[in-house]
Structure 1
Amino acid sequence: MSRSRCPRCTRPLGHCLCALVPRLSSRTRVLILQHPGEASHALNTARLAALALDNGELRVGETFPELEAELAHASRRSCLLFPGTGAMPLAELARDGAPLQLVVPDGTWRKARRLLHLNPQLAAMPRVALPEGLSSRYRLRKAPMVGALSTIEAIVCALNLLEGAGRFDAMLRPFEALIEGQIAAMGETVYRRNHEGDPAAPISPSAPAGSSA
């Protein structure tokens, strides 16, 4: 029999993270497009990010046909937070000061690339990337490359760059609790044997082209 889950954070009721999730306002709109394969994952950081942001939204699917019209009539500039040839450093947009919509694909790198493949309007968007050399706190997934971040870490870093250093750090509280809870559940010995020493994360908007959530 499956355990009862919180309808908001989808965690088992005994491990609900809602009390740790802040509610923050942002001038930047954050639209997270999550591959269905990530939606039921125990380490679903995209949902935590969306819950924390008044101006955030999470959509789950492989195709998003509504996006073409939405992007065409958007009142603010829209950019894809994803590495690639010609991706603009996000810090440059921060100096511009204009309202922005960040579209963030969520999934493994393979799944995120699939989202772009199935949604040409995403692939055609101007891309922005985080600074290189970032370090993840995600210790439960092997990173595909140095500097890979979880989705929530990438969003926090992006918003801090755009709207002020440290303003969105509170979003990481449930993320840290999620990681610590998973480590406690598996036991310190198992964790050290399988994970210690491996930075872990599913998405890295600062990584070279060809990477993904």
Structure 2
Amino acid sequence: MSRPRCERCLRPQDHCLCPLIPNLDSRTRVVLLQHTSEQSHALNTARFAALGLVNAQLRVGEVFEDLPELLATPGYRPVLLFPGDEAEVLGTYGAEDDQALLLIVPDGTWRKARKLLYLNPLLEALPRVTLGQVAPSRYRLRKAPEPGALSTIEAVVQALNVLEAPASFNELLRPFEALIEGQIAAMGRETFERNHGE
């Protein structure tokens, strides 16, 4: 019999992380497009990002039929947070009249994220933005496919920290860090060190 789950964070109720999820406002609107295969992942970081930000939403799927309406959200300039040769390095907002971004963030493995772009040509056509200085990932349970690879929530936090400096969005990482600590505790510190240590 499966353990009862929290309906908000989807964690088992005895490991609910809702008390650690902040309620942060941002000038930037964040839209997380989650590949369906990520939805049931134990470390569903996109969900925590969406829950912790007032001006954010999480969409799950492969083909997003309502993208035209989504990208036309009044008052925002849509961009895709995804590396590429043409990607512009994010900088801090300038004057008050600098238009706020609608930051579209694909969530999934690199392969799945690229598939989302392929299946949604409107995404592929968006101007791309990327992070300049990337702080090392705290995601100690996954071997990064390349240096500078981040979990979705870390990428969102680092992007918002740059865009909206001096505001800090690091509080968003609290449930993520608790999740990782919980996973390490469950596997045992020795096993963790053996498999994931330097």
TM over 0.5: yes
CA distance in 1, matches of 2:180, 2:118: 31
Q: Is the 8 A contact 1:134 1:148 kept in 2?
A: no
Q: 1:31 matched to which residue of 2? A: 31
Q: Deviations over 1:110-135 (max 9, x none)?
A: 00000001000000000000014431
> Letter of the aligned partner of 2:89 in structure 1?
P
Q: 1:208 matched to which residue of 2? A: none
CA distance in 1, matches of 2:166, 2:128: 22
Q: Is the 8 A contact 1:133 1:146 kept in 2?
A: no
Q: Is the 8 A contact 2:35 2:113 kept in 1?
A: yes
Q: 1:178 matched to which residue of 2? A: 179
Q: 1:150 matched to which residue of 2? A: 151
CA distance in 1, matches of 2:94, 2:79: 15
> Letter of the aligned partner of 1:89 in structure 2?
V
Please provide the CA RMSD for this pair.
1.4
Q: 1:106 matched to which residue of 2? A: 107
Shift of 1:195: 1.4
Matched, 1:43 2:43: yes
Q: Secondary structure at the match of 2:93?
A: helix
Identity %: 62
- Aligned pairs, how many? 196
Q: Deviations over 1:163-192 (max 9, x none)?
A: 124521111111110110000011111111
> Letter of the aligned partner of 1:78 in structure 2?
P
Q: Could you state the TM-score of these two structures normalised by the residue count of structure 1?
A: 0.88
Residue 165 to residue 182, structure 1, CA distance change in 2 (3 Å): farther
Shift of 1:14: 1.0
Q: Secondary structure at the match of 1:104?
A: strand
Q: 2:131 matched to which residue of 1? A: 130
Q: Secondary structure at the match of 1:117?
A: helix
Q: Could you state the TM-score of these two structures normalised by the residue count of structure 2?
A: 0.94
More moved, 26-35 vs 160-169: 160-169
Q: Secondary structure at the match of 1:95?
A: coil
